[in-house]
Structure 1
Amino acid sequence: MPLMNDILLVCWLLLGFNVGISQAVAKPSTDDDDDLHSRVPPPLTSSDFDKVLQEGFHVVEFFSPYCPHCTQLFPNWVEFYEYNQNIDGKDSKDKGNSFQIHQVDCVASGDLCEREGIQYYPMIRFYGAGSKLLGSMTNTQRDVDTMNEFANDQIIVWSESEDDDDSGASKLIAGIPLYNQNKMIKINELLKIIEGENKVPKLISFWPTTESELNDQTFQNDYNQNKFFSYYPNLHPFRNLWNLSMRKLKKFVDEDKLEFNYFNCKSNPEICEALGFKSLTASRIDSNLLPQVVLYLPKTTGGNAIFYNLKINDFRNLNTAVKSLTHWTQRTLINSELEDMKFQDIQNFIGSSTKLNGKGSISDITDYSKVAFIQVNDPESAVPEDDALLSRLIQPVADLTSDVYLFKTTDKDAVRKFLKNQEEQMANKYIHSGIEDAELKFDEKMFLSRTHTTFPMMICIKSGSLYSPVFTSFMSKHIRDYNKVLTFIKRNQMPTINHLTINSKSQIFPPTIDETINSKTEKVLITLTDFQPKQYFDVEFFMSYVFHKFTFINNKDKFNRINEKRSNKYDKVGKLRAEKADSDDIIDALREKVDISYTTTDNQLYPVYVDTKKLPEIVSAMKWSKLDPSRYTTGDVILVDRFNGQYWDEDDSGHKLTIEDPSQTVSLLEKVSYKKLKGKSLKHISLFAKIPLYSFIAILIFMIYRAVRMYLLKRTVYIEKMKGLGILGVCPELEESKFD
């Protein structure tokens, strides 16, 4: 202990020396600095911090006056403070502002910053009543917009309440009755749950802790009350996320449809390592490590252990993370039921229809998010293996970022009628809205070709769509092939229309292509909107119209190619028969597969809409250096190659693409897809990429030159060598002489 005290004394002396040096070399404050400081309240100290944060919500910046990043942030902080203090000329008290804004100088109030576990500057935090730490800002881009986004997200998370009164926030922070439903689970009980012995689904979080560090007495402790939270600050936000998820899922808990538990991996390393959570048992854990979450289903619903595999660290804020975990849980609970349902009930839940609004109509904004994969069974031929397949699909479907559901039904006649009504409505009415096209009409043969399958059949229905893909199967073993069915699901998981944002860009533009799922011919149709009601509905109709018309055209192209291949196949068989060919050859020709499928993603179109104001941010995040966002305005359209780095913003005549002429965009899509019309490049080639590229080209040219030169040299030598042998009857250029 004396040695430790000496070390601490030396550290404090060095800190004081460094502060003195900093003060000696610091620039004298300018009039501008003084003016900025006069526009915000003085920093809080240890004497008034807890008193000021006694009630309500607070955003607090912990800073050092000698930190360059703090100095750079300060003008934005002043603007952030004034924006929230005086909106529309009203003082925050009159306006009833939902949070207050403060600063803490960690040089002047080092004891307070030490108590709060401040590890770097500037650190921006969100506090609740009683100085309770609720969240920390992780976004490194700190301007007025991002700080407002952080504060408002925290307000939404901690204040939103479906069933509480206005005091819901304070109840939540106290939260003891609800949070007591989250119990530490012992190893013996966990083993029974893993075997499916639980009667209620259990959502269990696995922590890198021991039972003495985390238990029912310490789980709800504040940041400063539990040393483990201060050692590993990433775990405290997860504890808040876990609490908020309990609150969001309270209805399921109250109805005995879900229970919350947590498990300490360091006290039970063997079982956690067996579950694949070895990182949670290490003696020293990564500061970015988070607990793992598993939903354990009872045997009555398959007994599966469904792992939450999405990366919580990738979410921009706590609100988004809470929504993800709670929605994932709700969706997985629904998918695990797998009860025989009426098709109409499934259709109503998803919002799939046989009729869509035409151009100019204004109604409720359509929710395009839901996608359902439905196993349609024939009661007379259904077998237990069919349910086993659906049970195996729960985990991979849970891993999808789209809002995907699994259902089953024996209502096969209703399904067939629904599919035909959809196709007739799309082909005969919807894609002719304002533009009549005699060549595009419902074709019974094409519809049967696309939907012909054995039972059980698998179909995909989507909200706001008249097109439902069908898994094509000619033998029952195909529909029971797990890998083939999963491929069908992954190819069709995306909603009909998507919102392109920073958060969704990786889903809409995957960083790499999976050629078992995707095609290099896929396109993304970007439409710009300002979200004004009339304009947005025009954008919505444009995207829906272009999607449905081009999808029908694409299916028609596939149908024509299938017929052409089949015709060529039968012509070949007829020719072999006419020539009285061997029967084995005829059988081989008959067995030749026509491998064009309606369920591939060849030329698949993904319509997305983008907030016009956010386009520069999207372009920057995607690194589309050759696409100038300032050229586009609301109502403009950009067609982007999903994987090949090209884009089109004009038709082949040079006319700009807009929502005013959807037929122009459909025509461009046909030329790009079937006539391979080249687009413009999205990205400049960087200098570092050019050097190896140009070097490779130079080496290739040199090697080709050298190879050609060597060939010509050898040929010249050979011809010279063979001169004069022509009298012996030897061609000097084609043959060798026996005298060689």
Structure 2
Amino acid sequence: MLFHWLASVAYLLYLGNFVLAINEDATERPIFPDPLNEEEFNSQMGSGLHIVEFYSPHCSHCKALAPTWKKAWETFYEEGQGLNITFSQVNCLLSGDLCNKEKIAYFPSIRLYGPSGFIKNFPENAKRTVENLIDFARREAYDPANAEVLDFKSLSIPIRGDQFNELLAGKGEHPMMVSFWPSKTMRNSDDNINFENCDECVPFQRTWRMLSSKLLAHNISTGHINCESSSNLCEELGFSDLVKIKNYSLDRVPKVALILPNRVVNNLFVYKSPFSTSVSDYEDFATRIVSNSEPPFISAKEVKEITQREFQIPSASILNVSPQKLHVVFSYDPETVVPEDLHVLGHLLEPLSAIPNAYLYKSTDNMKSASRSVFESMYQIINYNESEPVKTVKESYLDLNVMDQNPSLYVFKDGEKIPHIFPAYSTTEMRNVDYITSWIESVSLAPINEISPSTFDKLLDFNPEEYSGLVIQLIDISTGSKFEKSSRLLRKLIVGAYDYEDLRMQNVLNVADAKRLTKTEKMQALKKKGASAKKIVKASIEEIPRLDNHKVILGYIDISKSDNALSQLGLAHREQYSAGDVIVIDTINRYVYEHDIFGNILSSESPYNIRETLAAVFLPESSYSAGNIPRRAFRPSFGDSFGFSKLSGQLSFWRLLCVLSPIFLAYKALRILSRARINKRYKAKRNTVGLLGRANKKNLRD
């Protein structure tokens, strides 16, 4: 009896605990919210940031997005609470008036809202995945401009065509940033305009309002032009799509240009980077051009300070991390310089405006000596191994790169202890703007680059004549301690990369010496054979090509941002990766390496292992470990979902074309026929603007 009683009590206790556990789990787990109605929308948008999906329950793409949206909400809920940003929805079938007021033109529409209302759309070129939605939320939460309450009006003034021409004639008092719009009667850039085929126009109005205030602090005025009423001007500038819609399936976007005063040439600069609603992008564009138009002087001491700056990983806890700047220094002797030498600076303004964070300077200090000093600081870092001979600056490499030509150009980067010297052998190269621009672009990469799906392809293909590899450090900055660890390991990676650079420079010298020896032996052989003087002279003046190759690009991936950050790039191969792991990609031969010369997982804990591994991969002729490191073929998944890169490596171009062309043509034919039937059906009934928006408005991205 007692036994049965105890068993019953135990069972009841177990059942009670089970019920409590269920209740606790139910209370802890947040419930996916219902769509907002108009009253809730107006109330909630007044504070914090909100990513809102406007949808219709009858929209097939909305239905396809539904599970992705829910998972993004569940995954990001707690983090979003801390960042004060939420995912919300609006059912436009139930809240039609609200969607009409917000000018929702297609479904699903994903937008960012803040205290001042609509801020921007979810990026048009981004797939609607859980990772991309969360990444968008994080990125916008960290931008302080999104939380600003805009209680001021735009300071931008309307500009007519004749007024714009006066500015081009150099009659302006201050630099002026001008925006161009697909409108006819917009007096104030804040006006409530129904922009046709311009989804980004309304969010850009907010951007322009903020710019009009921020640029005023830099003594830069702002104005705006209605392209529909200034059609000739806009067409001359190449903005004809803002005058009249030419393709309804393509979105139009506002254009921006900067005009410098007191100049009649080289005074108009069009913003040619991809369209953005980021205030900082346009502010940087304008302020850099104004600064570069009157390059400040920089001293050798300041150059040394620039290269000593330590790289900081951007994070939520450090909001004001300065971008890594590119400092282009025009070095000259004031006693010998002529006006023609200085004219090149004005011609560099436009190309430099397209290179992020590129700043132009003048200097009368000895930049050759400054470059040597920068190199010396690199050698101070790489002499960490007491068992090795002391490494010193390779004077021959310095002589090979530093020209005695005056004037000359140098590029120094924040935190990088490797100067870049323009290879000019005469005044001809120093006055060749295209040649100079090409060189600056070839050295324009930041010392350390964040790697994402949007930057990965560019880094893989960057300047293959000089760069052979991409070295990727995995980091985790999700907590303070992990951030510190990742920063420490990244510094060690840099040391290992500098150590490899010393080996690489020696290899460049060895190759150059071998080619000189070959040239000498060739001349001696010709003399021995009794060759004609013409042949001997021709051999003697034969130029030895200057090769400075097998460089590597450094980058990092924050694995705390996404569970499949590596698989998105086709890099996931092992079950587990950790902060500190290093992945090396041979960008020329397309191989991936994850182990060091000893067969262990490659880690930046040992700069020596980094150096030796890079040498084994990229300088096999000077490494005892060449060929001993396991490797695998690199098969990118991002942007190459069907493995076409691998296929193209196995088939000739024409065979590949024969394989793909019938598939592509059949697909396009079906699409055209299908769209023609749909358009015919809709046009017979009514226009395509309605509850489901413009059917031909967007290339849907599900």
TM-score (normalised: structure 1): 0.72
| Counterpart residue type for residue 220 of structure 1 | D
- Matched ranges for 1:152-301 at <5 A: 169-170=148-149, 172=150, 174-176=151-153, 179=154, 181-210=155-184, 212=185, 214-216=186-188, 219-221=189-191, 225-228=192-195, 232-252=198-218, 256=219, 258-284=220-246, 286=248, 287-299=250-262
Contact preservation (8 Å) 2:635, 2:646: no
2:444 to 490, 493, 496: 493
Which residue, out of 615, 619, 630, partners 1:670?
Answer: 615
Cα distance in 2, alignment partners of residues 147 and 300 from structure 1 = 46
Counterpart CA distance in 2 for 1:448 and 1:191 is 50
Change (3 A) 1:187 1:434: same
AA in 2 matched with 1:519: E
Specify whether residues 279 and 617 from structure 1 end up closer, same or farther in structure 2 by C-alpha distance, changes over 3 A only.
farther
Question: Is 2:258–2:270's contact at 8 Å kept on the other side of the alignment?
Answer: yes
Name the SS of the counterpart of 1:522 in structure 2: strand
1:160 Cα offset (Å) = 6.3
| 1:682 maps to 2:630 | no
Instruction: Give CA-to-partner distance per residue, 1:273-320, whole Å, 9 cap, x none.
Output: 22222222224564521121111122469643222111126xxxx4xx
Indicate the SS of the match to 1:328. helix
Distance 1:495 1:112 in 2: 45
1:655 is matched with which residue: 575, 600, 604?
Answer: 600
| 1:704 match | none
Which segments of 5 or more consecutive residues in structure 2 lack a partner in the other structure? Answer: 1-26, 313-317, 657-702
1:62 partnered with 2:54: yes
How far off its partner does 1:456 sit?
0.8
Give the Cα–Cα distance (whole angstroms) in 2 for the partners of residues 560 and 579 of structure 1.
28
Shift of residue 145, structure 1, vs aligned partner: 6.3
How far residue 409 of structure 1 moved from its aligned partner, in angstroms, is: 1.0
Quote the Cα distance in structure 2 between the aligned partners of 1:399 and 1:79: 38
CA displacement at 1:271 relative to structure 2: 2.1
Separation in 1, partners of 2:347, 2:229: 31
> Counterpart of 1:654 in structure 2: which amino acid?
G
Question: Letter of the aligned partner of 2:284 in structure 1?
Answer: H
Amino acid at match of 1:352: T
C-alpha separation in 1, matches of 2:406 and 2:274 = 38
Q: Secondary structure at the match of 2:224?
A: strand
Tell me, what secondary structure is at the counterpart of 2:540?
helix
Q: Does 1:409 align with 2:366?
A: no
1:508 CA drift (Å): 2.0
SS at match of 1:294: strand
Structure-2 change in CA distance of 1:466 and 1:69 (3 Å): same
Q: Which residue in 2 is equivalent to 1:590?
A: 540
For residues 350-361 of structure 1, the aligned pairs below 5 Å read 351-353=306-308
Q: Say whether the 8 Å CA contact 1:367–1:464 is kept in structure 2.
A: no
Match of 2:121 in 1: 136
Aligned to 1:388: 343
1:202: Cα distance to partner? Answer: 1.3
Q: Secondary structure at the match of 2:54?
A: strand
Match of 1:324 among 262, 281, 286: 281
Which blocks of at least 5 consecutive residues in structure 1 are unaligned? Answer: 1-34, 162-168, 358-362, 701-740
Q: TM-score, normalised by structure 2?
A: 0.75
Q: CA RMSD in A?
A: 4.1
The CA deviation at 1:260 is 0.9
Q: State whether structure 2 residue 536 is matched by structure 1 residue 564.
A: no
Question: Any conservation in 1 of the 2:580–2:603 contact (CA below 8 Å)?
Answer: yes
Q: 1:652 to 1:135 in 2, by over 3 A?
A: closer
Offset from partner CA, 1:229-268 (integer Å, 9 cap, x none): 6x6332112222222333443421xxx2x11111122222
SS of the residue corresponding to residue 408 of structure 1 reads strand
Is the 2:121–2:200 contact (alpha carbons within 8 Å) kept by the matching residues of 1? no
1:377 pairs with 2:347:
no
Are residues 1:646 and 2:591 paired?
Answer: yes
Query: After superposition, where does 1:521-600 map in structure 2 within 5 Å?
Result: 522-531=468-477, 532-573=482-523, 582-597=532-547, 600=548
Give the direction of change, closer, same or farther, for the CA distance of 1:405–1:267 in structure 2 (3 Å limit). same
Q: Deviations over 1:582-633 (max 9, x none)?
A: 4433432331112124xx4x11111112112357644344345xx4253422
CA contact (8 A) 1:538 1:659 kept: no
Q: Mark the CA change 1:63 to 1:249 in structure 2 (over 3 Å): closer, same or farther.
A: same
Judging changes above 3 Å, is the alpha-carbon distance between structure 1 residues 651 and 125 closer, same or farther for their aligned structure 2 residues? closer
Closer, same or farther: CA 381–590 of 1 in aligned 2, 3 Å: farther
Shift of 1:79: 7.1
Is the Cα contact below 8 Å between 1:460 and 1:468 reproduced in 2? yes
Q: Distance in 1 between matches of 2:227 and 2:358?
A: 32
Indicate the residue corresponding to 1:710 in structure 2: none
- Which aligned pairs between 1:686-705 and structure 2 lie closer than 5 A? none
Note the C-alpha offset of 1:691. 8.0
Aligned match of 2:377 = 425
Rg larger in structure: 1
* Corresponding residue of 1:27: none
Partners of 1:561 and 1:235 lie apart in 2 by 56
Partners of 2:651 and 2:146 in 1: CA distance: 59
Choose 683-692 or 482-491, whichever is displaced more: 683-692
Task: Encode CA deviations 1:635-658: one digit per residue, 9 max, x unaligned.
Answer: 111111224321111235533211
For residue 54 of structure 1, report the CA deviation from its aligned partner: 6.2
1:111 Cα shift? 3.1
Helix, strand or coil: the match of 2:512? helix
- Matched to 2:202, the amino acid is H
In structure 1, what is the equivalent of residue 12 of structure 2? none
**1:354·1:422 contact (CA, 8 Å) conserved in 2?**
no
| Structure 1 residue 385, shift from structure 2 partner | 1.9
AA aligned opposite 2:337? A
Partners in 2 of 1:548 and 1:121 — Cα distance?
Answer: 51
1:462 maps onto 2:429 in alignment: no
Is the 2:292–2:360 contact (alpha carbons within 8 Å) kept by the matching residues of 1? yes
The answer (yes or no) to whether the contact 2:169–2:263 under 8 Å persists in 1 is no
Q: Which amino acid aligns with 1:501?
A: S
Partners of 1:53 and 1:690 in 2: how far apart? Answer: 48
2:465 aligns to what?
Answer: 519
C-alpha contact (below 8 Å) 2:307/2:374 kept by paired residues = no
Contact 1:619 1:629 in 2 (8 A): no
Distance change >3 Å, CA 623–CA 342, structure 1 → 2: same
Query: Quick one: distance in 1 between partners of 2:50 and 2:280?
Result: 23
Q: Secondary structure at the match of 1:323?
A: helix
Q: Aligned partners of 1:366, 1:110: CA distance in 2, in Å? A: 43
Q: Alignment partner of 1:295: what SS?
A: strand
CA distance in 1, matches of 2:333, 2:514: 33
Of 363-372 and 530-539, deviating more is: 363-372
Deviation at 1:406, TM superposition (A): 1.7
Shift of 1:339: 3.9
Give the letter aligned to residue 196 of structure 1: G
Give the Cα separation in 2 of the matches to 1:105 and 1:699. Answer: 50
In the TM superposition, what is the alpha-carbon distance from 1:690 to its structure 2 partner? Answer: 8.0
CA contact (8 A) 1:528 1:610 kept: yes
SS in 1 for 2:195: helix
Amino acid at match of 2:233: I
Does the 8 Å contact 1:497/1:543 carry over to 2?
Answer: no
Distance, in Å, in 2 between the alignment partners of 1:690 and 1:78 is 35
CA distance 1:285–1:297, change in 2 (3 Å): farther
